[in-house]
Amino acid sequence: MNRRLLMFILIVVVSFGVVGGLSKWVVDDVKLGLDLKGGFEILYEAEPIDATSKVTKDSLNETAKSLEARANSTGVQEPEVTTEGDNRIRVKIAGVTDEKKVRDVLKKPAELTFRSARGCAADAGYCKVELTGSDFKQNGADVQQTNLNQYEITIKLKDASKFAEVTREVSKLSPTGSPLAIFLDETMISAPNVAQEINSSSAVISGDFTRDEAKNLKDTINLGALPLKLTEKYTQSVGATLGKKSLDETVYAGAIATVVILLFMMIFYRLPGVIASISIIVFIWLLLLGFNLIHATLTLPGIAAFILGIGMAVDANIIMAERIREELRSGKSILSSQKAGSKNSFRTIIDAHVTTAIAALVLFFIGVGSVKGFAVILLLSIAMSILTNVFFSRLLLTLLLKSGVVKKKSNFGVKESEIRAL
Amino acid sequence: MHYKAFDNVSDKRFSIVAKSRYFFIFSIIITLLGIVTLLYHGLNYGVDFKAGSSVDISFKKDVSGQKAQIEQFLKDNDFGTPGMTFGAKRVTLRFDDVLTDVKENTLKQGIMDKFDKGASMEVNTVDVEIAKELQGNALKAVLVASIGIMIYVSIRFEWRFAVAAIVALLHDAFIVISLFSIFKLEVNLPFIVAVLTIVGYSINDTIVIFDRVRENLRFAKLKTHEDVANVVNASIWQTMSRSINTVMTVLFATICLLIFGSESIRMFSLAVLFGLISGAYSSIFIASPLWLALKSKQKPKPTAKSSAAS
């Protein structure tokens, strides 16, 4: 047995060893999208709470963070909260058991406002919003017990001077002071009287609360510091069993397709087909590993990109094998056919991959949501495909041919009668 | 120079180039048909493009006998009469109004309590604006990608190849859109992804043949238009078994997904299937002959050498 053959066998054995040994780990680690696992996705559009302000990048990010905190508070695994464009937030939560609860928590607008009757018509009540959720510090609410064994909630403000200004103005309304009502959404919690300017960064909400009520209120306020108003623009919810079924069926279909393709390659192209099959298996494994490394989530569009990736991987192998066959038919020796075939096919394969990569890059930068996901996986598969189906395939074939064990052109699926004399 | 040998081979084979007019006519007819149907009844937009909610219920047991009961249940609970598709274990409901989350829960709970505890549901609710935006976004992406590909192909090959490749690519995307319009198949977000997949495949397939044309041009002696036509024809035939084998393998994969894959990607698989066939067809019968047509419009130069430039 010669060195090159040994090397070939070693590489194949090690590759299969790694693929076989680590595939359970790699496959288990693949993060599944909600369409394959069950869960839900909501796309919110954010609007400013009062008409005068604008949605800024900061307020959007802050809102996204609060949403994530809300989702986390319900104990779901890895909620995915991302901002999109200027005014959108996408929340994806996979594998939820109690979807209703999570959605309720996310939805609860819990907009905390301090309102006064400044400049309002006589019967309009507290029409003027003096302070909004974004004026309060996040997680700044706390429960305290008073001397009278009552519970009160303290909240912290971001800006003491703003509170001073508001209280000064409100207290001026009447000689005895005027109420500054505290609203949670449209419900008034209390309406304490402000008799003078309060120059402080904290305020107290007192009322006839039980301990539990006070605690609930505190939690709601803490959750409720959403700087922006959100409206649902798109929701998708997939039952866990349905998602699992989709995944099982798709994997089953994919497995059958892969087996058929590999068989086709081996029967039709013989030796290069066998090499191609090894490369394609390594390619699929590497692609899954790549998913995990870049923390990509596998969704149905992702599977589409995966199929296109496998298509290109098979194509690369077919282009090379066909090219080698052509060279063989023209009468060249096996070794020089392989050399010329690999060289000539290389440019074609790279051109084909690069053009698809350009399309994928554009989709990545322009696309949103599922289109972006599709592009990421397509780009990844292009990179992996060049690595395995060009370099790895070629290395294996070169080693095997140089070892001298392959002597017959029929091993390439070329009939003796097809070979022309030089 | 073993390529000379192929010139002889190609002479005996059917000349795709010579018959290219018929393929052009065929494609133009399909395209016109597509435009007419698109104008006439547009696309059958699914929930993603029309406001409303779609509910996909997958039952563990056979509920085909309970159609009337389900309809009654919907009526009793104020769900109106949504569009219904009935399968043995699968029911799809299409509401014209967006389901509120309270209603959604009532529906889920009701179905599980009354009909099948193991029922699993997919609920999609979409604001039209978002879907339209995504569609527009995808369209923009395809156009920008086309420009990018054109620039690359123009640099690596020649502008005529770029034009021909983009025409083939848009042809394929359009054929799929037309077929979905003609057969009134449902167009949802996965459809957009399918069209993008086709764009990716189509360009890949075309480039492979172009690469061979370019390579053969280098070695060929080109004096007349016939010489160039022969090179194109020979190139198409030389890459034919690769073209067929590649499309066959990808078709296997897609047909497997269509038959065994989950219901949710059925329309996607079908779109890809149409696109693959169109992609293979356009790469072979449209792209290269189109290049040739553009090439023959080129003003003749004193020597034939210039046309071999890449």
Which pair of structure tokens corresponds to residue A194? 């402000």
The conformation of residue B298, written as its DSSP 8-state character, comes to S
CA dihedral B76, B47, B105, A223 (to 10 degrees): -150
Mean per-residue pLDDT of chain A: 82
Q: How far apart are CA A325 and CA A397, in angstroms?
A: 13
Cα distance from A330 to chain B (closest Cα, Å)?
7
Q: Does residue A278 surpass a pLDDT of 90?
A: yes
B1: in domain = no
Q: Spell out the residues 6+ positions from residue B261 whose beta carbon is closer than 8 angstroms to its own.
A: A249, A250, A253, B269
**Using CA atoms in the order A80, A371, A297, B176, what is the torsion angle rounded to 10 degrees?**
140
Tell me: do B244 and B168 sit in the same domain.
yes
pTM of the predicted model as reported, rounded to 2 decimal places: 0.75
Last residue of a domain, one of B126, B158, B183: B126
Q: What is the mean pLDDT of residues A190-212?
A: 78
Q: Is A268 on the interface with B (CB under 8 A)?
A: yes
Query: Could you give the domains of chain A?
Result: 3-35+239-418 (1.20.1640.10), 39-108+229-237 (3.30.70.3400), 112-219 (3.30.1360.200)
- On whether both B237 and B115 belong to a single domain, the answer is no
| Min Cα–Cα distance to chain B from A312, Å | 8
Nearest-CB residue to A318 (from B120, B138, B245): B245
Beta partners for B217?
A: none
Is the domain of B118 the same as that of B71? yes
How many structural domains compose chain B?
Answer: 2
Helix (H, G, I), strand (E, B) or coil at A166: helix
In a domain, B12, yes or no: no
B5 touches chain A (CB under 8 A): yes
For residue B5, what is the nearest residue in chain A, using CA coordinates?
Answer: A330
A326 and A348 Cβ atoms separated by less than 8 Å: no
In A, which residues are within 8 Å of B145 by CB distance? 358-359, 362-363
| Contact check, Cβ <8 Å, A319/B192 | no
B14 assigned to some structural domain: no
Select from A355, A402, A391, A357 the least CA-distant residue to A376. A357
* CATH label of the domain that carries residue B76: 3.30.70.3400
Q: Could you tell me if residue A121 is left (phi over 0), alpha (psi between -120 and 50 degrees) or otherwise beta?
A: beta
d(CA A363, CA A304): 14
A228 has pLDDT over 70? yes
Identify all chain B residues contacting A97, using CB atoms and an 8 Å cutoff. none
Residue B15 in domain: no
- CA distance from start to end of chain B: 19
Does the CB of A250 have a partner CB in chain B at under 8 Å? yes
Which region holds residue A119: left if phi is over 0, alpha if psi is between -120 and 50, else beta?
left
Residues B29 and B56 grouped into a single domain: no
Radius of gyration of chain A (CA): 33
Question: Rounded CA gap, A236 and A124, in Å?
Answer: 40
Same domain, B189 and B256: yes
Q: Which residues pair with A116 in a beta bridge?
A: A128
Closest CA to A23 of A281, A393, A305: A281
Same domain, B141 and B282: yes
> What pLDDT score does A223 carry?
64
A333 in helix, strand or coil?
coil
> From the CA of B292, how many Å to the nearest CA of chain A?
20
Q: Do B140 and A348 touch (CB under 8 A)?
A: no
Specify if B3 maps to a domain.
no
Examine the domain organization and report whether B72 and B163 are in the same domain: no
- Which chain A residues are closer than 8 Å to B56 by Cβ? 242
Q: How far apart are CA A92 and CA A76, in angstroms?
A: 11
- Render pLDDT for B219-277 as a digit per residue (tens, 0 to 9): 887 778 888 888 999 999 999 999 999 999 888 888 988 888 877 778 888 999 999 99
How many residue contacts between A and B have a Cβ separation below 8 Å?
Answer: 219
Local confidence band at A280 (pLDDT 50, 70, 90 cut-offs): very high
Which of B13, B25, B26, B28 has its CA nearest to residue B229? B13
Residue A180: count other Cβ atoms within 10 Å of its Cβ: 27
d(CA B168, CA B153): 14
* H helix intervals, B52-127: 67-76, 101-114
CA nearest B211 in A: which residue? Answer: A348
Q: Do A322 and B242 touch (CB under 8 A)?
A: yes
A219: pLDDT confidence band, cut at 50, 70 and 90?
confident
Q: How many C-beta atoms lie closer than 10 Å to residue A165's C-beta?
A: 14
What are the pLDDT digits (tens) for A347-376? 889 988 998 898 888 888 887 777 788 888
Which of B68, B100, B126 corresponds to the end of one domain?
B126
Q: Is residue B253 part of a domain?
A: yes
Kindly list the residues from chain B whose CB atom is less than 8 angstroms away from the CB atom of residue A261: 249, 252-253
The pLDDT score that the predictor gives to residue A276 is: 92
User: Which residues lie closer than 8 Å to B29 by C-beta, 6 or more apart?
Assistant: none
ipTM over 0.85: no
From the list B303, B283, B281, B288, the residue with the least C-alpha distance to B18 is B288
Q: What is the DSSP letter of B82?
A: -
Q: What is the token pair recorded at B161?
A: 């190849």
d(CA A133, CA A136): 6
Domain at B203, CATH number: 1.20.1640.10
Of A236, A249, A322, the CB nearest to B260: A249
Residue B262: which of B107, B138, B122 has the closest Cα?
B122
Does the beta carbon of B249 lie under 8 angstroms from any beta carbon of chain A? yes
Please give the residue of chain A at the shortest CA–CA distance from B4.
A330
**Amino acid, res. B168:** A
Same domain flag for B230 and B116: no
For residue B41 the two structure tokens come to 């009844």
Strands A297-298 and A193-194, bridge-based pairing: unpaired
Q: How many whole angstroms separate alpha carbon A148 and alpha carbon A71?
A: 36
Distance from CA of A366 to the nearest CA of B (A): 6
State which residue of chain B sits closest to A257, comparing Cα positions. Answer: B253
Examine residue B9 and state whether it is found in any structural domain, yes or no: no
- Which among A105, A315, A336, A422 is the top mutation candidate for probing chain B, defined by the most B β-carbons within 10 Å of its own β-carbon? A315
Token duo for residue A221: 């306020």
What average pLDDT does chain B have? 82
Q: Are residues B217 and B156 in the same domain?
A: yes
Distance, CA of A254 to CA of A30 (rounded, Å): 16
Residue ending a domain, choose from B126, B155, B180: B126
Residue B279 belongs to what domain range? 20-45+130-309
Amino acid at A154: T
Contacts of A380 in chain B (CB under 8 A): none
Residues of chain B with pLDDT under 50: 1-11, 304-310
Indicate if B237 and B302 belong to the same structural domain: yes
CB atoms under 10 Å from CB of A143, counted, come to 17
DSSP SS3 for B108: helix
- What's the rounded Cα separation, in Å, for the pair A392 and A386? 9
The number of beta carbons lying within 10 Å of the beta carbon of residue A160 is 14
> What residues 90-109 of chain A have any CB closer than 8 A to a CB of chain B?
100, 103, 107
In a domain, B11, yes or no: no
Q: For position B159, what pLDDT does the model report?
A: 92
- The model's pLDDT over A172-191, given as tens digits with 9 standing for 90+, comes to 877 777 788 877 767 777 77
Asked if residue B210 and residue B102 are part of one domain, the reply reads no
Mark whether B182 and B270 lie in a shared domain: yes
pLDDT reported for residue A384: 92
